[in-house]
């Protein structure tokens, strides 16, 4: 009898303990929109409505967490594009900061940049001039060879293979020099533009106005 009474007490205590634990756990209520467009409150949410987003409330109706709806494929693509744009903008800003720091370390004043620009442009100009002289020599030789070939044809003779080979080589060399000339001219223009941009940027960083620069 005593043993039976003891077991009943233990069982009662266990039941009370479980009841207390359940009472301690906060109630969770899910607020969601069903397939009819109605806002629904329930102790659980059907799986098919999870993608639409939902709100978790406590027993007093206070919001515990808001789960947003799942994005569509178009929205995900747009979001990724926006994030990529922001990332590129941040990279560009950092690149500008790095370029500015390097510019300040390399040059004390815009005049220092102008001096370096003039030196580099002078070197490029000398290369362009040398290329022009070489191109003129090649052109003169090509004209001579073409005249020689034309004279042979006028006399009814065949142009020698050696002359034809030289004409072909000189023509290729003329084209190569022309291409190199264009490339050097483009490089000179690019160098001049980059130096001018650096000059203006350093003036901006140092707060130099056009009037103070002119003085």
Lowest mean pLDDT: which of 54-68, 80-94, 120-134?
54-68
Long-range contacts of 172-179 (CB under 8 A, 24+ apart): 173/138, 174/135, 174/138, 174/139, 174/142, 177/131, 177/134, 177/135, 177/138, 178/135
Q: Which residue is associated with the tokens 């001219």?
A: 185
pLDDT at residue number 213: 54
Q: Over the chain, what is the mean pLDDT?
A: 87
* Of 158 and 211, more confident: 158
Cβ-based neighbour number of residue 55 at 10 Å: 16
Interacting residues of 39 by C-beta distance below 8 A, sequence separation 6+:
31, 32, 33
| Cβ neighbours for 59, distance < 8 A, ≥ 6 positions apart | 26, 27, 29
Q: Tell me the per-residue pLDDT of 192-211, one tens digit each, with 9 for 90 and over.
A: 999 999 999 999 999 987 65
Structure confidence at residue 212 (pLDDT)? 55
Predicted pLDDT of residue 130: 97
As to burial, measured by CB atoms within 10 angstroms (0-12 exposed, 13-18 middle, 19+ buried), residue 8 is exposed
Where residue 159 falls among pLDDT bands split at 50, 70, 90? confident
The whole-number pLDDT of residue 4 equals 43
Q: What is the pLDDT, as a whole number, of residue 191?
A: 97
What's the pLDDT at 208? 82
pLDDT of res. 21:
44
Strands 54-57 and 63-67: antiparallel
Strand runs (DSSP E) across 58-179, as ranges? 63-67
How far is Cα 99 from Cα 198, in angstroms, rounded to an integer?
9
């Amino acid at each position: 009898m005593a043993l039976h009474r003891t077991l009943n007490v233990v069982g009662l205590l266990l039941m009370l303990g479980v009841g207390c634990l359940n009472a301690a756990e906060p109630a969770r209520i899910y607020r969601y929109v069903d397939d009819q467009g109605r806002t629904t409150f329930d102790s659980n949410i059907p799986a098919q409505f999870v993608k639409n987003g939902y709100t978790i409330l406590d027993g007093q109706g206070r919001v515990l967490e808001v789960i947003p709806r799942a994005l569509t494929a178009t929205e995900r693509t747009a979001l990724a594009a926006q994030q990529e744009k922001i990332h590129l903008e941040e990279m560009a800003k950092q690149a500008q900061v790095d370029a500015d720091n390097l510019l300040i370390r390399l040059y004390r004043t815009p005049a220092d940049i102008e001096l370096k620009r003039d030196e580099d442009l002078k070197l490029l100009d000398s290369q362009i001039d040398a290329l022009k002289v070489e191109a003129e020599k090649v052109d003169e030789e090509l004209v001579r060879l073409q005249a020689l070939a034309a004279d042979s044809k006028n006399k009814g003779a065949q142009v020698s293979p050696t002359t034809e080979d030289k004409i072909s080589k000189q023509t290729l060399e003329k084209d190569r020099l022309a291409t190199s000339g264009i490339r050097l001219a483009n490089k000179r223009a690019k160098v001049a533009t980059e130096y001018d941009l650096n000059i203006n940027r350093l003036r901006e960083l140092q707060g130099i106005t056009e009037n103070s620069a002119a003085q």
